[in-house]
């Protein structure tokens, strides 16, 4: 008999149940699966919001209720996300680019030091 004799059962493949493995299950606000739900008091305001949503390509459900308070929280959330993305996308000068202060030196010799 060989010295490599396997005793025991075969190992079961593990089930990954942590949140990192469920990335496709999250739904973004403003898509067709999860439209933004807005309630406004007038038709004019509804038309303004429809144009805003169409500009940005967001899906929405807008209802007009004159006696109820205006609820535009979902729109505020979407606008905050848009502003945060715009702030991150500003490009910083790399080491060998000319310095943005206008001195004519490389960034690494001027403002990065």
DSSP calls for 57-91: T--EEEEE-TTSPPB-HHHHHHHHHHHHHHHHTPP
From CA 72, how far away is CA 41, in angstroms rounded? 11
* 8 A C-beta contact, residue 102 and residue 91: no
Does residue 5 lie within any of the structural domains?
no
* Least confident segment among 13-17, 60-64, 84-88: 84-88
Q: Residue 60: inside a domain, yes or no?
A: yes
Residue 43 within a domain = yes
| Structure confidence by residue, pLDDT tens digits, 19-60 | 665 666 677 888 888 899 999 999 999 999 999 999 989 999
Q: Answer whether residue 33 is part of any domain.
A: yes
For residue 48, being part of any structural domain is answered with yes
- Region 92-99: what's the mean pLDDT? 81
- 36, part of any domain: yes
Structural domain boundaries enclosing 37: 27-84
Tell me how many domains the chain contains. Answer: 1
Instruction: Enter the pTM of the model.
Output: 0.55
Q: Using alpha carbons, select from 80, 108, 105 the residue that is nearest to residue 92.
A: 108
**Per-residue model confidence (pLDDT) at position 102:** 76
The first and second tokens of residue 2, run together, are 């060989």
């Amino acid at each position: 008999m060989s010295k490599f004799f396997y005793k025991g059962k075969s190992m079961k493949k593990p089930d990954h149940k942590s949140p990192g493995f469920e990335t496709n299950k999250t739904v973004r606000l403003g898509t067709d699966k999860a439209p933004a739900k807005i309630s406004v008091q007038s038709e004019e305001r509804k038309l303004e919001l429809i144009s805003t949503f169409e500009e940005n390509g967001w899906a929405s459900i807008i209802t007009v209720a004159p006696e109820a308070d205006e609820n535009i929280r979902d729109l505020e959330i979407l606008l905050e996300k848009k502003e945060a993305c715009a702030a991150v996308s500003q490009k910083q000068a790399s080491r060998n680019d000319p310095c943005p202060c206008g001195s004519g030196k490389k960034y690494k010799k001027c403002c990065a030091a």
